[in-house]
């Protein structure tokens, strides 16, 4: 469609095969940045370790630098003091990147409806997968990870996010 910048090619057989191949490669080599703050971190550790292994999904290598990661797992409550730090970390990640809101405190604020807590990180950044739970069981985390993998598989190579210039400059 004219004027639509994001999909500037008609999907053809070869580009869709290429998209699927790239999606397959990306979804099985997830470099996660676990931004761990609170109690959900304990369930994150349990999911990442041998009992409920997350390495079998290809996501077992945490990179502790946003420049080297592509999935930002926001694990645990984000307070208003921490929110600018989180936003800066998210802005430092290169495209394509995805954000997983792990735990109900990051989805909607949880039961900390008070002066100190951000009521859901989707008020400050776009979120791809929400994993509710306080804390979520490892099986829920793996289910969320599989949903994220489905989402990664279905993305076009140009990505379907607006270009960074279009996002408001918050910092």
According to CB under 8 A, which one of 15, 119, 140, 161 is a site residue for another protein? 119
Residue placing its CB nearer to another protein in the complex, 94 or 116: 116
State the minimum distance, in angstroms, from the CB of residue 96 to another protein: 21
18: which residues sit within 8 A by CB, 6+ positions away?
157
How many CB atoms lie under 10 A from the CB of residue 23? Answer: 19
Binding mask 50-89 for another protein (x = CB under 8 A): xx------------x-----------xx-xxxxxxxxx-x
Cis-peptide, bond into residue 129, ω within 30° of zero:
no
Question: Which of 6, 25, 134, 163 touches another protein (CB under 8 A)?
Answer: 134
d(C-alpha 153, C-alpha 144), whole Å: 14
Integer angstrom CA distances of residue 8 from 4, 15, 96, 159, 165? 7, 12, 18, 12, 18
Q: From the CB of 106, what's the least distance to another protein, in Å?
A: 13
**What count of Cα atoms within 13 Å lies in the side-chain half-sphere of residue 138?**
13
Q: Is 97 in the site for another protein (CB under 8 A)?
A: no
| Residue with smaller CB distance to another protein, 23 or 34 | 34
Nearer to another protein, 5 or 169 (CB): 169
- Exactly one of 97, 120, 144, 152 binds another protein (CB under 8 A); that residue is 120
- Number of residues near another protein (by CB under 8 A): 45
| Full DSSP string of 80-105 | TTTHHHHHHHHHTSPSS-EEEEESHH
3-state secondary structure of 54: coil
Binding site for another protein (CB under 8 A): 34-39, 41-43, 45-46, 49-51, 64, 76-77, 79-87, 89, 109, 111-120, 123-124, 134-135, 137, 170-171
């Amino acid at each position: 469609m004219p004027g639509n910048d994001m999909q500037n090619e008609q999907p053809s057989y070869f580009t869709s095969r290429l998209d699927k191949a790239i999606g397959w490669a990306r979804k099985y080599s997830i470099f996660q940045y676990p931004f761990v703050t609170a109690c959900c971190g304990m369930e994150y550790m349990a999911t990442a370790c041998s009992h409920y292994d997350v390495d079998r999904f290809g996501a077992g290598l945490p990179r502790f630098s946003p420049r080297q990661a592509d999935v930002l797992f926001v694990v645990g409550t984000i307070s208003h003091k921490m929110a600018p730090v989180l936003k800066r970390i998210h802005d430092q990640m290169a495209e394509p990147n995805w954000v997983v809101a792990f735990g109900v405190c990051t989805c909607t604020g949880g039961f900390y409806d008070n002066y100190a807590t951000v009521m859901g990180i989707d008020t400050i950044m776009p979120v791809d997968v929400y994993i509710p739970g306080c804390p979520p069981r490892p099986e829920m985390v793996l289910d969320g990870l599989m949903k994220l993998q489905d989402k990664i598989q279905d993305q076009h190579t140009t990505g379907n996010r607006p270009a960074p210039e279009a996002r408001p400059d918050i910092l």
